[in-house]
């Protein structure tokens, strides 16, 4: 497993580099074919390469991604190494270690019938091209297991906040700042009013966090700004909070005569609520106990994953089944070597339990009410 992880890590795959992602897909495809006996379907959308394996009829969906946030050349400063029971290297924890566990888990099963594997190439960009594939497979699956990295100390991820990005654009009217500023409509001043209204939507830390971020206004130092904008990062724990934020931003109105305000929605992931994972986490604890893997912990986290999308479609979902380690997206990212086979065994046990009927399956499917407003673009 360590050797396979090294092969994946040393094939750098930053999301924005289409050639690197395609090369990485070849390496992941080779690993999957070697351990399962089946070559994947290659799905290229807008130049981005995704991989899918379908073994018989739908049932269990296993999700992962092979793109990373690390640019080509990162191995120079952060080379692959093994020290004190840990492996280091860009992307090892998020989430190439999870891919290694996934395929080694499948290799240990007596049958692969009823399993679908989807490995995407743009998760770090918000599933810009893989989202239709995720919706398609979520609709076919009784349960989804996401091989994203674990939370602290190996905890499984049983809830994630939804994420939505917006841009608020303000249009005013330009004028000479020295000769007749009163003839203009100052978009920067209007933007200041709008930023205050946006910030007032925040209900963190227990509700939605709504954060104005990157902002800009004007063209030259001696001109009343005619245009201004601010980006907004919103993180929502529930579908209700997602709707409240949407409604609040839609209700923004200009404060200055002659100004216009436009809210442009961007990419988003729906909230992954605890109800989506409750039955599968209970099953995971039973499986772990039966395998002697010790008690499992759970965690609610702020970052989104592809798990948000399939959970938002109503598919029971359990996340964080990937590598145990720390340091995602940061220098010093690492994976605990001894946990690789243990987590693979847990995944194999979960797949067998779902296929074997010891879990209620489709009866646990949640109601994806308001998914369109809370998550689907």
Q: How many CB atoms lie within 10 A of CB 2?
A: 13
Q: CB of 102 within 8 A of CB of 314?
A: no
Q: What is the side-by-side order of every strand in the sheet holding 317-318?
A: 41-45, 48-55, 115-120, 60-65, 143-146, 317-318
How confident is the model at residue 366, as a pLDDT? 52
Q: Which three-class secondary structure state does DSSP give residue 13?
A: coil
Chunked into runs of 10 residues, the chain (377 residues) has average pLDDT values of: 98 97 98 98 97 95 98 97 97 98 97 97 95 97 97 97 97 97 98 98 94 98 98 96 97 98 95 96 96 94 94 97 96 97 98 88 47 35
On whether the pTM is more than 0.95, the answer is no
Q: Which residues are registered as beta bridge partners of 61?
A: 116, 144
Of 1, 148, 9, 27, nearest to 91 (Cα)? 9
How confident is the model at residue 357, as a pLDDT? 83
How confident is the model at residue 365, as a pLDDT? 53
Give pLDDT tens digits for 235-276: 999 999 999 999 999 999 999 999 999 999 998 999 999 999
Q: How far is CA 110 from CA 36, 107, 370, in A?
A: 11, 8, 40
- The CA distance from 8 to 14, in Å, is 12
Sign of CA dihedral 345, 288, 161, 334: negative
Q: Which three-class secondary structure state does DSSP give residue 151?
A: coil
How confident is the model at residue 294, as a pLDDT? 82
List residues with catalytic annotation. Answer: 67, 123
How confident is the model at residue 358, as a pLDDT? 76
Under DSSP, the state recorded for 327 is -
Q: How many CB atoms lie within 10 A of CB 366?
A: 18
Distance from chain centroid for Cα 325 = 18
Can you give the C-alpha Rg of the chain in angstroms?
23
Q: CB of 175 within 8 A of CB of 317?
A: no
Q: Give the domains, in start order, of the chain with CATH numbers.
A: 2-161+272-374 (3.40.630.10), 162-269 (3.30.70.360)
């Amino acid at each position: 497993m360590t050797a396979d992880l090294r092969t994946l890590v040393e094939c750098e795959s930053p999301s924005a580099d289409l050639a690197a992602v395609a090369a990485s897909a070849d390496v992941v495809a080779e690993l999957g074919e070697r351990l399962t006996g089946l070559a994947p379907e290659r799905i290229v959308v807008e130049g981005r390469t995704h991989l899918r394996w379908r073994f018989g009829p739908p049932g269990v969906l296993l999700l992962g991604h092979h793109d990373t946030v690390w640019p080509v050349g990162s191995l120079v400063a952060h080379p692959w190494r093994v020290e004190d029971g840990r492996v280091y290297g860009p992307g090892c924890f998020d989430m190439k270690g999870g891919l290694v566990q996934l395929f080694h888990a499948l290799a240990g099963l007596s049958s692969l019938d009823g399993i679908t594997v989807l490995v995407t190439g743009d998760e770090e960009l918000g599933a810009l091209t893989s989202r239709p594939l995720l919706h398609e497979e979520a609709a076919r699956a009784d349960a989804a297991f996401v091989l994203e990295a674990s939370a602290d100390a190996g905890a499984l991820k049983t809830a994630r906040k939804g994420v939505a990005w917006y841009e608020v654009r303000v249009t005013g009217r330009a004028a000479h700042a020295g000769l007749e500023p009163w003839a203009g409509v100052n978009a920067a001043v209007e933007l200041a009013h709008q930023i205050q209204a946006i910030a007032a939507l925040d209900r963190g830390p227990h509700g939605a966090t709504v954060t104005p971020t990157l902002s800009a206004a004007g063209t030259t130092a001696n001109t009343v700004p005619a245009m201004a904008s601010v980006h907004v990062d919103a993180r929502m724990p529930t579908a209700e909070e997602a709707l409240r934020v949407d409604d609040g931003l839609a209700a923004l109105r200009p404060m200055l005569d002659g100004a216009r305000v436009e809210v442009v929605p961007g990419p988003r992931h729906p909230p992954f609520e605890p109800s989506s994972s409750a039955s599968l986490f209970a099953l995971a604890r039973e499986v772990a106990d039966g395998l002697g893997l010790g008690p499992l912990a759970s965690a609610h986290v702020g970052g989104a994953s592809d798990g948000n999308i399939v959970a938002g479609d109503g598919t029971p979902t359990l996340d964080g089944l990937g590598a145990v380690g720390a340091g995602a997206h940061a220098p010093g990212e690492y994976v605990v070597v001894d946990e690789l086979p243990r987590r693979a065994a847990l995944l194999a046990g979960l797949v067998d339990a779902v296929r074997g009927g010891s879990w209620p399956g489709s009866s646990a499917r949640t109601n994806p009410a308001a998914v369109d407003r809370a998550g689907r673009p």
